[in-house]
Structure 1
Amino acid sequence: MPNTFNLIFDMYSGTMLKVAYGITRDKHLAEDAVQESFLRITKNLERLEDIYSPETRGYILTITRNASLSVLKVRNGITNRECPLDEIENVQESCDLEQEVISKVGFEELVSTIRELPKIYADVLYMDWVMDLSIHEISVQLGLQEDTVKKRINRGKKTLQKQLIKKLKRDPVL
């Protein structure tokens, strides 16, 4: 068991801190959330069959996300913040337009717009961009075919881009 914990720590602590910081936007709160995550993981360590599997990665990052939200709820009264998006892939031919929209809109507006998307798109975009899960890992987590996940990600990106462009046209100083 101690060896398993050390392996999990070595493999996932960096990613967990990144996810926690993205949610809390505070270094100390993120560290608290990661510590809380490891406490939760330790309680269920015997359930983890293969620490290298996509299921285990998803499990660990889900615990981290939930612990981060709990820390925020307790400390700040904020419960639904999301991680910043590291990067957005091409949705249409114009990557420059997309990057311009993202840079003008900003993090908070982007998160707000993602929340407005249908749940089937918001979930896969979160798992793809924030949790940095592969298509296979997302399909396992959601119990969907990989082709379905790919389609939802692509449709979600297109829907997100359209929503952001509409918002930018309404209020160009976002």
Structure 2
Amino acid sequence: MPAEAAVKYEQIYFNDIYQCYYSSVYRIALRITRDPHLSEDIAQETFLKAFLKMDTLFEKEKLKNWLSAIARRTAIDLFIRKKRNEVSIEDDYLTLADQGERIEDRIDYSLLKEKTQYVINTLKSDYREIMILKLFFEMKDHEIADFLSLNTSTVKTKIHRARKQIKAAF
């Protein structure tokens, strides 16, 4: 098969994948972000990442799970980046002055939150994903279990182990 025909075949194949799985990838992103516009961006980025790494997928039967994992991680990463950009100490200064809070307390809180985010990012990927869903998305254990297709007791165990690692880091 000539190279040009192979490229065209891959494009047709990928278009079929896109048409078939776009709505499920979008729903995963929407469930995490609760933002339709951001979810569309996440879906597009998910398929871009998938297209670039399609050659690493050896078992075509696992395509849906593979795309779901990419979508979850992309959504979580973008959500964290967005939240990190929204929080700034300078913007909080006026709010704090209006509320009568001590600025030092707010700065201490911001530094603690930043340290916690750093420590969470150093956890193993399965612990990190669960802790992000627990802390930043405020999901309950059974919701996390349903979302990640895990047993609730497994989620509880991983949360316990992750918390021990976070405490040890402090």
The TM-score, its normalising length taken from structure 2, stands at 0.49
Question: Larger radius of gyration, structure 1 or 2?
Answer: 2
Q: Which structure dedicates a bigger proportion of its chain to helix?
A: 2
Higher relative contact order by CA 8 Å / sep ≥ 6: 1 or 2? 1
